[in-house]
């Protein structure tokens, strides 16, 4: 059987283990994993924007052209395609300099089979009496978008 000395030693041992476990739990909670703050999404390399958006008018059709950007740092992201955005206002409403330009996506163009520095095209029929503003945004396979391209403005 256990002697009084052995029982006392066992109780002391259990108490020390409990104190050590409690100390470790409090330490982990206080130290944590570092700086506290809101969650931050993983960073992706910036997708290069289209810089040479141009246009030609052929009758009542505008043809937008641009070059596929070739400098992308994260090769796994890759360029998926382009989204063409258009703002369309009546000429009578287009005089407002401080009014916001309301762009709407009008076309998605795939670039997966294209090579960097290759020319892309988009054509659209224009209606008389309107001011058009176009821009192009590059989309990547990683789901990130570039900043806006330069704008093309046409009054037709």
pLDDT digits over 57-100, tens only?
988 999 999 988 876 554 546 788 899 999 998 887 756 777 77
Reported confidence tier of residue 47, pLDDT bands at 50, 70, 90:
confident
**Cα 31 from chain centre:** 33
Which pLDDT tens digit goes with each residue over 99-130?
778 899 999 998 876 666 678 999 999 999 89
pLDDT averaged over every residue in the chain: 80
Residue ranges of the domains in the chain? 1-36, 54-155
Question: What pLDDT is stored for residue 74 in this prediction?
Answer: 47
Q: Which of 15-29, 40-54, 72-86, 124-138 has the highest mean pLDDT?
A: 124-138
Report residue 15's pLDDT band, with 50, 70 and 90 as the boundaries: confident
Q: What is the spatial distance between Cα 141 and Cα 150, in angstroms, rounded to a whole number?
A: 22
Secondary structure (DSSP) of 10-34: HHHHHHHHHHHHHHHHHHHHHHTTS
Q: Are 137 and 148 in contact (CB under 8 A)?
A: yes
What gap in Å lies between CA 92 and CA 155, rounded to an integer?
Answer: 11
pLDDT band for position 133 (cuts 50, 70, 90): very high
pLDDT-derived band at 27 (thresholds 50, 70, 90) equals confident
Is 40:138 a contact under the CB 8 Å cutoff?
A: no
CATH annotation of 54-155: 2.60.40.10
Over 50: is that where the pLDDT of 141 sits?
yes
**DSSP secondary structure of 136-150:** EEEEETTS-B-----
């Amino acid at each position: 059987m256990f002697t009084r000395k052995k029982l006392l030693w066992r109780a002391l041992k259990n108490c020390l283990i409990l104190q050590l476990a409690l100390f470790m739990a409090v330490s982990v909670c206080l130290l944590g994993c570092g700086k506290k703050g809101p969650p931050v999404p993983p960073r992706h390399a910036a997708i290069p924007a289209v810089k040479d958006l141009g246009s030609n008018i052929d009758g009542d059709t505008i043809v937008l052209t641009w070059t596929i950007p070739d400098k992308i740092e994260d090769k796994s992201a890759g360029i998926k395609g382009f989204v063409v955005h258009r703002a369309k206002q009546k000429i009578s409403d287009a005089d407002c300099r401080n009014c916001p330009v309301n762009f709407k996506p009008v076309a998605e163009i795939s670039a997966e089979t294209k090579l960097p520095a290759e020319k892309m095209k988009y054509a659209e029929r224009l209606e008389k009496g309107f001011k058009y503003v176009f821009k192009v945004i590059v989309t990547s396979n990683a789901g990130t978008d570039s900043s806006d391209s330069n704008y093309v403005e046409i009054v037709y």
